[in-house]
Amino acid sequence: MMERTKINTESLKTITECLEQLALAEESIISIDGQLLKQDADPDWRKRAENARRTVQQKKRIVMSRLAVLRQQEKERNLQLHQQHTDFLVKALREIVTPSSFERCVRLAKEKVEEIHANQC
């Protein structure tokens, strides 16, 4: 007999919650598939099991979509934090080093970026 596992798609707020729900969905699908292979049951039971599998698969797709959104948001937050760090670092360097040294650093950084860009093309 199949165990009912509730796949939560309503309040997924973290990547960890999504991953936990994905694991449950995978376990459920594997369990249903195993039972469908073993069972020589009546057609009504088989139809219910196949419907349950489709439902779990649909919920899995919802969780995967939410996971993609959360990962993109995390990526954007990380980029923003990195940019803020860079801005604070530049401000601190401007206050500490001489203007000519700072401009030399800016020029060297631009050259390095252009070199990397040229190698990627």
Instruction: Report the SS3 class of residue 98.
Output: coil
Residue of higher predicted confidence among 94 and 41: 94
Mean pLDDT of 59-79: 98
Q: What does each C-alpha distance from 69 to 60, 65, 66, 117 come to in angstroms?
A: 14, 6, 5, 29
- Determine the pLDDT at residue 50: 94
With 80 as the cut, is the pLDDT of residue 3 above it? no
Amino acid sitting at position 57: Q
22: nearest Cα among 52, 14, 47, 50: 14
Comparing CA positions, the residue from 70, 69, 28, 65 lying closest to residue 49 is 28
Task: Check residue 41 and give its pLDDT.
Answer: 74
Tokens of residue 87, six digits: 């801005």
Q: Please say if the pLDDT value at position 1 is more than 70.
A: no
In the chain, what are the domain boundaries?
Answer: 15-120
In angstroms, the CA 19 to CA 24 distance is: 9
What is the per-residue pLDDT across 79-118, written as a single tens digit (0 to 9) for each? 999 999 999 999 999 999 999 999 999 999 999 999 998 9
Mean pLDDT of the chain: 92
**Is the pLDDT at 30 greater than 80, yes or no?**
yes
Q: How far apart are CA 8 and CA 103, in angstroms?
A: 55
Q: Looking at residue 39, what is its pLDDT?
A: 65
